[in-house]
Structure 1
Amino acid sequence: MRFKKAILVSTLLTLGILLLSSDPLSSVKANTVNPNENQGNTFTLQIASYVYRKEGKQVHLDNLNDANGQEIKIKQVGSSSLIPKGTSFKYYGKPKAIKTYISTSSQTSTGDRKMYYSIGNGYYINAKNVGITNGPANITIDRNSYVYNSKGKRKKAKTIRRNTSLTVPGKFQETSTPKKYYSEYLSSSGIKFVRWQRRHRFWLNYNTIHGKQYYNIGKGQFIRADNVRYLDGKPVYTNAKETTVVLKHRQEIVNMKSNRESGRYYKKGKKLRVDKYISTFYGYPNDFWFKTGTEDSIFYHVKGTKDNWVSGRVSEVDVRRYIEPINVNNSKFTFIQFKPGITKGIIYDEHGEQKFDNTFFDAKRTDYNEFGYTALKAAELKYIYAPSSKKVELFYLIKPKDQFDFGLLDKDGKAVPRDPNMDNFYLKADDLNYLCGIKLKPINTVAEAEKDK
């Protein structure tokens, strides 16, 4: 069973800077840029990004200037224009909700809502592809919210309507560990065909009053943090162990233990309490995520069931508060990769001697910055006396049958076919870096290896 990977993105989004209709699906009005609004406020793309119109469709541009007025080198992809990572733009106003239409994306349903920044002239950029802006902090609420004072006492007749975006005191800060409430933006290597995207968590300082969290909205006023759905246009996460999802479509229940669909279904609109959020991404660090169109997937476990799981793709579920995902492969296995600069890895036998004269491991394929990257799974770590160096060294045991895939090269660097019945072999630990998963400990000692040489 294979499922496609997805970027974690929100699908019910909120509208801009005014007190808007209580209908979260009301149409987005055209953006009008005030040349004096947010002058000097910029953001930088962390992922190559398409440009959109207010109608939510990708556009073709012959030219476009960055924040410094310099013309951007645009990459044309079919009828759409792709702006390279690292490009900086001036932006105008607060993030806005746009009903997005992308016919080429299997992960984004037609009409999914996402938050976008206006870059002027009716053009928009997906907020999830943007790093922390240098402008003021903006938050967006999705519930009618009472206003409180600094002691947590509600101010009478003071309510802020849902789908309102607010500029608030403070600055967003990056954090390496989840807070009670936080968000994330994604960054990529900048290489078009590389699948991974790294997660960068950030948060806005909140006040805890009588055990509840509040955001300061200025002038001694506060709102409940639980009513905020977006920080700077990006979906809110919580460090809670559970959350609620709503199914956008009729969805078949997946049984993980048997690795199969169950033949049973949950109905469209079903609200489920879930207590685990997992990814099955193979051989990537925990803080990595993926762009649309790659294999494997993400799932939620339905609380109170033995083994009922549903797809967590943004096209399948609406999630008001995301919980921190767990990479299940990293909880079971050890993944390693060759150090930068090594293109051919020497293959060793159990005695620490080179196993083949003209067959080497394709080391470059273990680099996740390379197209065709495949993780290298290690079975054990062992001290072995190496005759070539005349000393005991650490080696990783590699079992070919455990690998998703790997490549072999001859001494000239040309690919050679791999025997499907290839025996286990070893790779020298000094040639490799730990990547993710369980950290192995040597199964023996240096003294034991000396004795066994």
Structure 2
Amino acid sequence: MKNKRLLTSLAVMLAIGISWITIAGNANQVLAVSRSAQSKYQITIASTDVYTKDGGINYKYPGVNEYGKLKDNTKLNTNGIVKTVDNMKCYDVGHGGYIDTSRVTKINNRAAMTIGHNSRVYNKYGKKLWQYHGQSSLLKNGTAIGHIDDVVSLNNVDGKKYFLVSNNEKQYSWLPYKVIRGTAYYNIGDGGYIKAANVNFINSNVVFTDQEPVKITKEMCNFKKDSVTVFNDQGKATPKQLKIGQKIIVDRTIDPYVLTGIYGDDDDDDGYKQMFYHIKDTKEFISITFGYHGHALLNYDQPLGVMKVKVLSDSNLYTSTGTNVIDHFDPAHNIALVDPKHPNQTHETQVKDTTVQIKKNTEEYVTEARYLWVPSEQKAELFYKLRSPYVSGPEYLGIENGEFVKAADVEYVSGSQLTPVNTADTVVK
């Protein structure tokens, strides 16, 4: 009779759409019921790899392609117990297969989200519930759970704490959350709410945030030292260090090359991909290869305080003195050319100095707007200083103080609108 009542209760829970799978505290009991009654939870997944219990690709799983992958909207059955497989939180889907729980899009036909931390269920007043539907309210890390509200498109993410991003950060949406006593919660139905901060995936999409608290760890220091170096907005190291245990808030990421302007700056000393994180309300960054476990952050697609311009037509490149950049060859330097009709004979040609031009449609970052006196035109003109050298080497004359393009030769693309650092009437002739 006791087992009959338990099976009846489980059937009722499924009928009313209770879509959290792992019921912590009674996991063995639920698993036993599932096995004895052959009752399983149905999940729908986004396209995903299927793994073996050791974390390898399961190429023998029914329905996978030659790469061991299941297609979008595949429906599977699971007992709902979260297992760790090669550092991934996974569901056992039978036949020796395991799938990452972050790939779950639906549970029993209800849209799903996946939590990234052990989490309790709360009521509408933000009060922790110890019991939810007669079970412990503790949800384990990796659990997929149904949500009530629909995802809504956004024109921008202004004012949104948590949101979703797609199409290379050109499209935005969010799952509406309720703010209770300053904390955001998602509605999971029947009077239950989950802290939004604990949700890492919604309908298999990564959850982004507008800012994330970070505590410096040994892992962030690559286990080699006890602090993290702070960089300025040009990607240059400063004397400032953040010690293990210090807390900061980060709100954006930026690729190393974008910040520094130097190709090949994407890897750390050991060859691992690194990323710069912007410290909120500052012009400072920290570089992290390992150890960031927070929500995804929007990425700066260009450096702070710079402007991107596009060259309208082939245009001369200028020095800081308003003269053309010259590709110079020593007059005594001759190139020996082979005469194809007389391969054993050569003749010499004199190579002349040439004016360097920046090509049409070239896009460049510029860091400064400045009026320069142009001797050849006997007037001052507005120029932009290039962030990174367009040319480099001893043969290019006059570029020691930077390379410039005329403002009239380019058009604005994106970024900060630069204000001239001087005026035309103050330029020294």
Superposition TM-score tier, normalisation by shorter sequence: 0.5 to 0.7
In the TM superposition, 1:103-114 aligns within 5 A as 111-113=86-88
1:224 aligns with one of 195, 199, 205: 195
3-state SS in 1 of match to 2:418: coil
3-state SS in 2 of match to 1:283: helix
Q: Is the radius of gyration larger for structure 1 or structure 2?
A: 2
What amino acid maps onto 2:258 in structure 1? G
2:396 aligns with one of 399, 419, 424: 419
The match for 1:52 is 49
1:138 aligns with 2:122: no
1:406 aligns with 2:382: no
**Residue 244 of structure 1 contacts residue 319 of structure 1 at CA under 8 Å; is this kept in 2?**
no
In the TM superposition, 1:294-333 aligns within 5 A as 297-298=275-276, 311-313=287-289, 316-321=290-295, 330-331=303-304, 333=305
1:395 aligns with 2:360: no
Render the CA deviation track for 1:337-393: whole Å, top value 9, x for unaligned.
425xx6844324678786665532256664xxxxxxxx53433244878989x9986
What amino acid maps onto 1:224 in structure 2? K
The match for 2:256 is 281
CA–CA distance in 2 between the matches of 1:126 and 1:155? 24
TM-score (norm: length of structure 1): 0.51
CA–CA distance in 2 between the matches of 1:58 and 1:291? 29
C-alpha spacing 1:153/1:295, structure 2 compared with 1 (3 Å): closer
The match for 2:22 is 19
CA–CA distance in 1 between the matches of 2:145 and 2:306? 45
C-alpha spacing 1:324/1:347, structure 2 compared with 1 (3 Å): closer
The match for 2:237 is 259
CA–CA distance in 1 between the matches of 2:89 and 2:368? 42
Q: Which runs of 5+ in 1 are unaligned?
A: 1-15, 23-33, 44-50, 67-73, 75-79, 101-110, 189-197, 302-307, 367-374, 409-415
CA–CA distance in 1 between the matches of 2:230 and 2:292? 22
1:359 aligns with 2:352: no
CA–CA distance in 2 between the matches of 1:384 and 1:137? 64
1:378 aligns with 2:362: no
Displacement of 1:182 in angstroms is 1.4
2:407 aligns with one of 408, 426, 429: 429
1:177 aligns with 2:150: no
CA–CA distance in 2 between the matches of 1:444 and 1:91? 63
CA–CA distance in 2 between the matches of 1:42 and 1:241? 27
**Residue 384 of structure 1 contacts residue 395 of structure 1 at CA under 8 Å; is this kept in 2?**
no
CA–CA distance in 1 between the matches of 2:320 and 2:285? 42
In the TM superposition, 1:133-282 aligns within 5 A as 137-141=111-115, 142-148=117-123, 150-152=124-126, 157-158=131-132, 159-163=137-141, 164-175=143-154, 176-177=156-157, 179=159, 181-185=161-165, 187=167, 198=169, 202-234=173-205, 236-240=207-211, 242-244=213-215, 247-248=218-219, 250-252=223-225, 253-256=227-230, 259=237, 273-276=247-250, 279=254, 281-282=256-257
3-state SS in 1 of match to 2:51: coil
CA–CA distance in 1 between the matches of 2:102 and 2:408? 41
CA–CA distance in 1 between the matches of 2:365 and 2:125? 55
What amino acid maps onto 1:169 in structure 2? I
TM-score (norm: length of structure 2): 0.53
What amino acid maps onto 2:356 in structure 1? T
**Residue 182 of structure 1 contacts residue 201 of structure 1 at CA under 8 Å; is this kept in 2?**
no
> Using CA pairs below 8 Å that are at least 6 residues apart, which structure has the higher relative contact order?
1
Displacement of 1:441 in angstroms is 1.0
**Residue 54 of structure 1 contacts residue 124 of structure 1 at CA under 8 Å; is this kept in 2?**
yes
**Residue 20 of structure 2 contacts residue 145 of structure 2 at CA under 8 Å; is this kept in 1?**
yes
Render the CA deviation track for 1:46-96: whole Å, top value 9, x for unaligned.
xxxxx63324556999xx999xxxxxxx9xxxxx79x9xxxx9445479x9
What amino acid maps onto 1:255 in structure 2? T
CA–CA distance in 2 between the matches of 1:418 and 1:396? 23
Render the CA deviation track for 1:77-123: whole Å, top value 9, x for unaligned.
xxx79x9xxxx9445479x98978xxxxxxxxxx454899x9xx979
CA–CA distance in 1 between the matches of 2:398 and 2:358? 16
C-alpha spacing 1:140/1:363, structure 2 compared with 1 (3 Å): same
CA–CA distance in 1 between the matches of 2:273 and 2:313? 26
**Residue 102 of structure 2 contacts residue 201 of structure 2 at CA under 8 Å; is this kept in 1?**
no
The number of equivalent residue pairs is 331
3-state SS in 2 of match to 1:274: strand
CA–CA distance in 2 between the matches of 1:52 and 1:426? 51
CA–CA distance in 2 between the matches of 1:182 and 1:160? 22
CA–CA distance in 2 between the matches of 1:281 and 1:227? 29
The match for 1:29 is none
**Residue 185 of structure 2 contacts residue 195 of structure 2 at CA under 8 Å; is this kept in 1?**
yes
What amino acid maps onto 2:174 in structure 1? W
C-alpha spacing 1:206/1:174, structure 2 compared with 1 (3 Å): same
Displacement of 1:206 in angstroms is 0.8
**Residue 319 of structure 2 contacts residue 398 of structure 2 at CA under 8 Å; is this kept in 1?**
no
Q: Which runs of 5+ in 2 are unaligned?
A: 1-18, 26-39, 327-353
What percent of counterpart residues are identical? 16
C-alpha spacing 1:246/1:235, structure 2 compared with 1 (3 Å): farther
CA–CA distance in 2 between the matches of 1:430 and 1:115? 58
Displacement of 1:205 in angstroms is 0.7
**Residue 330 of structure 1 contacts residue 436 of structure 1 at CA under 8 Å; is this kept in 2?**
no
Of Structure 1 and Structure 2, which has the larger fraction of its residues in helix?
Answer: 2
